[in-house]
Structure 1
Amino acid sequence: MSRAPDLKTLEAAATWFVQLNDGAQCEATSRAWQTWLDASPQHAAAWSRVEKLQQQWARVPRQSALSSLSAAKAQRREVLKILSMLLAAGACGWLAVEEVPYRSMLARQRTGSRERRTLALADGSQLELNADTALDVRFDSHQRLIQLYRGEILIQTAKDPAQRPFIVDTAQGRVRALGTQFSVRQLSGHTRVGVLQAAVEVSAYRFAGQPVRLEAGQQVTFDREGVDAIRPLSAGSTAWVHGMLSVDDWRLGDFVDELSRYRPGVLHCAAAVQDLRISGAFRIDDTETVLENLSKTLPVKVRFMTRYWASIEPA
């Protein structure tokens, strides 16, 4: 039985929907879409869901739908706004029950695929939001809570006169700050936490044991069932704050997955070259140059099927 498509796959399907219906699509675009569709059962499942969205357009006021669709043509990330509008109108019941994608699209604080942002909080704490991040800030008299739905944040907490705990909740568990600077990344099915200063406590939702304490220079990954072994914090783990992606002997497939966070559309890496190794520091604000330079250092070539579809293949 095939696994349900994740949010990234759903977004890719929505992007193809916009491209195929913008009036300017060509045969090459259609072929590229078909290649994407055939590449994975999850792609086919995501496309089926987007087609269900298409069937609901008649329920949306025509002027509103056309306005959102026009915006989506101009900028890919507006696809999320279309889906958000349909959800709010009750026109897409199948996604409403998928809590994390639903809530991330309606989050009050979001960044796009080429956007990073600094957010100053009411208590004096500061958040750095990486690209493609969605969260809500919920401060009350009892706690300071960040609900992270998608993406990655770097947090510098401030002292609170009311001594309210500072907490980050993800889909897998909870991170409690102990006067610190730390990063939290929501991955597919798990969360990764790294501590730069002081300490944090990590708790998985379905684990009844004591929280795991992390000190400065440590990182850990956890899912809903438990927390993995503590490891040293990876060098360059927060280089994104300065617009860089720093890697040391990474698989090319993992590198491409990471680079795709900072690039609209689909960035594919052929299986034949995924195990090549790569090291270096790369500017995430200029992914075009990064892709051009790959063929100069590795036996690969980059083929652009459309503006939003690039494939890294054997040279």
Structure 2
Amino acid sequence: MPCSLDLKTLEAAATWYVQLNDGTVSEARHRAWQAWLQSSPQHAAAWARVETLQQQWSMMPKQAALSSLGAAKAQRRDVLKILSMLVAVGGASWLAVEQVPYRAMLAEQRTGRRERRSLRLDDGSQLDMNADTALDIRFDSEQRHIQLYQGEMLVQTAKAWDPRPFVVHTIDGSVRALGTRFSVRQLPEQTRVCVLQAAVEVRPLQHVERPVRLEVGQQVTFDRDEVDEIQRLPAGSTAWVQGMLSVDDWRLGDFVEALGRYRPGVLRCDPAVQGLSISGAFRIDDTDTVLQNLSKTLPVKVRYMTRYWASIEPA
């Protein structure tokens, strides 16, 4: 079995397993799975890994197999459980547990898709977690640290003076609060920071000795090596806290990708319409209505292969 399967492909295979074993499988869903399976050699390789697991389950005690996967439901936590087992079949489970995607599965604080959460921290700070976010909180007598593995968070540090530094760590570096309200999002290859109050210091992992100060109304992205040019903070950048996705002249492809964070299953955008422009404020807790309304403002239609697989296509 090739070991080059990416995490998204394995996650898709895990998602299909959950959907095909939730007790409500239809002929349409089975055809959609077949289409996915045959559309890429990587998909076939990932599903072969699922079949390897099935062979192993047949040798497990019946109760253990059922508690592991046999009664899986179409929920994010079940997909993550299966995904971790698929990684294990690849022979890298004990090493991979130290990598960010797998550490995220073990994080103390996690949200699934269509889930947001607010936390009051021990020091009185307020923390909001966006959908599909994973983080650990580490407060002690000398420091206040948050490790963000994936997703997005918004924090309002406590107003009471506290000598302990408040630092958010990501795979790309760290963000130190300077009495502030700010958000941090872990992107696929960068970290994005937005400052809504006061200021922060951004330190790339490879150049911690060269902090970059970010003031209120500014945002920046950075990776392990460098900090990009500071930009003006766009309106509505933290609208997700109020359950909204606010966009101004976005590409439809980017909009669909962002909306997909709040919707279970697969949401695709045909390349032929990805460049269309879209603006407005959309409720992320009702993505079905958002999709229904797209065709009223843009020359597109939504095609559903299953309840959990939708594609935005030319009208």
Equivalence for 1:124:
124
Equivalence for 1:25:
25
Contact 1:130/1:153 (CA < 8 Å) preserved in 2?
Answer: yes
Equivalence for 1:314:
314
Offset, 1:105? 0.6
Equivalence for 1:297:
297
Equivalence for 1:5:
6
Partners in 2 of 1:57 and 1:92 — Cα distance? Answer: 16
SS at match of 1:183: strand
Partners in 1 of 2:220 and 2:93 — Cα distance? Answer: 31
Which consecutive residues of structure 1, in runs of 5 or more, have no partner in the other structure?
Answer: none
Deviations 1:78-119 (A, max 9, x none): 2213445x499x776424433111111111101110111101
Offset, 1:25? 3.1
Equivalence for 2:180:
180
Partners in 2 of 1:12 and 1:285 — Cα distance? Answer: 23
Contact 1:59/1:91 (CA < 8 Å) preserved in 2?
Answer: no
Cα root mean square deviation, aligned: 2.7
Equivalence for 1:196:
196
SS at match of 2:113: coil
Contact 1:251/1:275 (CA < 8 Å) preserved in 2?
Answer: yes
1:257 aligns with 2:262: no
Contact 2:22/2:71 (CA < 8 Å) preserved in 1?
Answer: no
Partners in 1 of 2:211 and 2:254 — Cα distance? Answer: 30
Partners in 1 of 2:223 and 2:14 — Cα distance? Answer: 28
Offset, 1:53? 4.5
User: CA 1:271–1:122 in structure 2 vs 1: closer, same or farther (change >3 Å)?
Assistant: same
1:246-285 alignment runs, 5 A limit: 246-285=246-285
Offset, 1:261? 0.2
User: CA 1:143–1:58 in structure 2 vs 1: closer, same or farther (change >3 Å)?
Assistant: farther
Percent identity, please: 71
Contact 1:304/1:311 (CA < 8 Å) preserved in 2?
Answer: yes
> Which has the larger displacement, 235-244 or 20-29?
20-29
Partners in 2 of 1:196 and 1:158 — Cα distance? Answer: 15
Partners in 2 of 1:71 and 1:184 — Cα distance? Answer: 36
Equivalence for 1:15:
15
Q: Which of 92, 106, 114 is 1:94 aligned to?
A: 92
Contact 1:175/1:200 (CA < 8 Å) preserved in 2?
Answer: yes
Q: How many residues align?
A: 312
Partners in 2 of 1:64 and 1:142 — Cα distance? Answer: 44
One-letter amino acid matched to 1:97? L
